[in-house]
Amino acid sequence: MKKLLLLLLITHCYGLAIAQNTEAKSLSWKKHLSLAEDLYEKSQYGEAAVHYEAAWQQKKKRTEYANQAGECYMIVKDYSKSIEMFSVVKEDYKNFPKARFYYAKALKQNEQYDSASPEFKKFSDTFVGENAAALIAEALIELEGCELGKEMKMNADKNVRMIHVGDAINSDLVEFAPTPFGSEDLLFSSTKQGKAKIFQTRRTATNWEAPTIPAQFASLNEDHVCNAAFAPDEKRMYFTVCRSVENWGALTTRCEIYVTKKTGNLWSAPERLPDEINKAGVTSTQPTVVQEDGKEVIYFASNRSGGQGGMDIWYTTRDLDGGEMAFISPRNAGAKINTEKNELTPFYNANEQMLYFSSDGHVGMGGLDIFKALGKQSSWEKPMNVGVPFNSGSDDYSYIKNRYEDGGFLVSNRTYSTTKVSTAHEDIFEFRLTPRASMFQVSGMTYDKATTMPLTSVEVSIYELMASEQERMLQTKIFNRRHFQLSTDTKQKI
């Protein structure tokens, strides 16, 4: 199941599930199997899943075909079909020892938390196979995530309105990396032309204009171009160029960060960032840019060595009055942000001094959840899950606020009313913030009880007291450095 680590390089494994047509139903199980194996090797996992399932339907004793179908459906994020296939094999511990774990993960990402929890518990109690300690630890984190998911759904933020941006932007393929530009424009990436490309659109009174590819990317037609990010003055735009040996969604894909610069109304030819950032043999992708203290800081995701594991958040800096390509060697954002699994799609909000990112290593209610952490560079407070409706049982990532900070965008494969009925592709969503209840500020000092001497560096947490009598941590800060901003509409304790 290594290929389940799917959103690491660009955003998605290409190849969605397709319905079987009349001709396909007439094929023999051997032909279905042959097609499935060929499609799998080509990373066309959705179509491979259909043929593996068809082979199993004709040859029910060959349950390995159902297991393979379940794995492929999981890769393309068709959780319902994955549940159906793994239910066939989850009790066959001898032949498919990890099937129960994947079955439970599919249930969790389908927001069937009450069904997923006992499956994770049973797996953690009984599994003794390869990498047992790591898988059991992961199952226990997922079990904790099921409880979190139920709690967060009960306490969704009613001040946030989540909107599917519609088919002027979204398609039945993959749209991702939304980036507000100016007051009305939006850049985003899409695979609708076969390869990942950056598109630009403008908001109208009722919808969005037909997207077009900006001229500065015309010279990059042979590659996958995505993940645009602007410097605060919008005169430098960073983005990712990805190349792969075979299919662009396979794990052979490698991405590098480029920059284009604006002079007047013209953008320069794209330039590759130095080797210190685009290190040979690793991926560097999904940049976000901030300027502070006389420096430009780029946070990005990379699988280079020296991190915590998987994809990590890294950063590099350059002096604003120095060379335009004089970046320092990248540094890891640290163990508070990064885990042994994957941290992706960083967005840094300078006004809040807050890093938003997605992770499947911290406790979450879905696959990839969005988190936020106060701090900068390698100094961070404990990340917090941003909750519902930003997160769901599905994969949620690429969170970004607009310039007015009264809303923003994110990417999710969640379903949405009748507009989006499948989890097997990512779409762009817009969120809008409504005015919140009145706020008040809490400040004070902490003292050593025995000596009555002031304490200068104490970590203090604020908890919301829920109707269910449970507690949810809202904020954790070094209390004598910062104040807490609290809402008047909930019960809280320090």
Distance CA 90, CA 97 (A): 8
pLDDT digits (tens, 9 = 90+) for 272-329: 999 999 999 899 999 999 999 999 999 999 999 999 999 999 999 999 999 899 999 9
Neighbours of 89 (CB within 10 A): 24
Confidence of residue 483 (pLDDT cuts 50, 70, 90): low
The residue-averaged pLDDT of 11-15 equals 42
Q: Which residues contact 302 (CB under 8 A, 6 or more apart)?
A: 279, 282, 283, 284, 285, 311, 312, 314, 330
Q: Which two tokens stand for residue 49?
A: 């899943």
Domains of the chain, with CATH numbers? Answer: 2-154 (1.25.40.10), 160-435 (2.115.10.20), 440-493 (no CATH)
- The yes-or-no verdict on residue 464 having pLDDT over 70 is no
Q: Which two tokens stand for residue 91?
A: 């009790």
Conformational region of residue 49, where left means phi above 0, alpha means psi within -120 to 50, and beta covers everything else: alpha
Within 90-174, residue ranges assigned H as helices are 99-109, 113-126, 132-154
Report the amino acid identity of residue 177.
A
266 HSE (CA, 13 A, CB side)? 3
Nearest CA-CA partner of 273 in 264, 261, 262: 261
pLDDT of residue 4: 39
End-to-end Cα distance, the chain: 43
What does the mean pLDDT of the chain come to? 88
Q: Read off the pTM.
A: 0.85
Confidence of residue 480 (pLDDT cuts 50, 70, 90): low
Nearest CA-CA partner of 267 in 297, 295, 228: 228
- The yes-or-no verdict on residue 357 having pLDDT over 90 is yes
- The yes-or-no verdict on residue 18 having pLDDT over 70 is no
- The yes-or-no verdict on residue 71 having pLDDT over 70 is yes
**Which position has the higher pLDDT, 459 or 317?**
317
pLDDT digits (tens, 9 = 90+) for 232-263: 999 999 999 998 654 444 445 789 999 999 99
